[in-house]
């Protein structure tokens, strides 16, 4: 599952995207090379959104649930069909629940203590949040004592700085409003979304 999440490096974050726009937006992203999507649990009709995406795309896209704050929400997300979960923080209750139920989890971390706790539960892929406020060398410092850890950058990632995060050592990027620009969504410009995303995918996946 983790290989699928990281395919082409970009995880698209759907937060409060209207259900009517969910499939066409996801199709545009998929056509551009995005192969993993996160529907946040604080969105309207989020479980219905996950079900629609899973039904429409099958195994073509990995569909996850984000903003998981407690084990109860984790259970609801898994029941809706989420293939992986993401948290904004390090909550040991969620770590324990997902480990016991063999649920793929990308836990949110910020500190060495967070990283150590996640590794203790067997989760080596983590979400560094908010990544945009941290110095560029922060991840390299973390990987010194925690060489088995890998990180997705979330928070402050834009099309303009995405490559910098990859060059700093991140294995993936979580992008929401900077990827799904409100102007494109409002105008239902799915071709525009596709081509902007294609440029991003090319930028973060090819050597400069």
User: 3-class DSSP state for residue 38?
Assistant: strand
Q: Is 38 known to be catalytic?
A: yes
Classify each residue of 80-116 as buried b or exposed e, where b means 16 or more C-beta atoms within 10 Å of its C-beta: bebbbbbbbebbeebbebbeeeebbbbbbbbeeebbe
Q: Is 187 known to be catalytic?
A: no
- Computed from CA positions of residues 41, 77, 39, 148, in that sequence, does the dihedral angle turn out positive or negative? positive
Compute the distance between CA of residue 103 and CA of residue 86 in angstroms, rounded to an integer. 11
- Which residue in the list 35, 127, 194, 196 is annotated as catalytic? 127
Residue 127: CB atoms within 10 Å: 27
Compute the distance between CA of residue 153 and CA of residue 165 in angstroms, rounded to an integer. 7
List Cβ neighbours of 204 (8 Å cut-off, separation of 6 or more): 9, 10, 162, 163, 166, 173
Q: Angle CA(31)–CA(37)–CA(38) in degrees, nearest 5? A: 160
Residue 130 preceded by cis peptide, ω within 30: yes
- Which residue in the list 35, 38, 83, 196 is annotated as catalytic? 38
Catalytic residues: 38, 127
């Amino acid at each position: 599952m983790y290989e699928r999440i990281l395919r082409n490096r970009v995880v698209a974050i759907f937060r409060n995207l209207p259900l009517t726009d969910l499939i066409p937006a996801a199709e545009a992203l998929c056509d551009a090379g995005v192969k993993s999507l996160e529907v946040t649990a604080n969105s309207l009709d989020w479980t219905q959104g996950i079900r629609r995406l899973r039904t429409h795309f099958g195994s073509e896209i990995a569909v996850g649930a984000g903003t998981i704050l407690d084990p109860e929400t984790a259970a609801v997300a898994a029941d809706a069909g989420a293939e992986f979960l993401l948290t904004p923080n390090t909550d040991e209750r969620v770590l324990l629940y997902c480990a016991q139920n063999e649920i793929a989890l990308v836990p949110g971390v910020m500190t060495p203590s967070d990283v150590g706790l996640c590794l203790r539960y067997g989760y080596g892929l983590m979400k560094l949040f908010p990544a945009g406020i941290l110095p560029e060398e922060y991840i390299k410092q973390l990987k010194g004592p925690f060489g088995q850890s890998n990180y997705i950058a979330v928070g402050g990632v834009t099309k303009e700085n995405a490559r910098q995060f990859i060059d700093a050592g991140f294995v993936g990027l979580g992008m929401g409003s900077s990827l799904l620009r409100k102007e494109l969504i409002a105008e239902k410009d799915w071709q525009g979304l596709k081509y902007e995303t294609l440029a991003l995918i090319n930028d973060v996946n090819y050597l400069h």
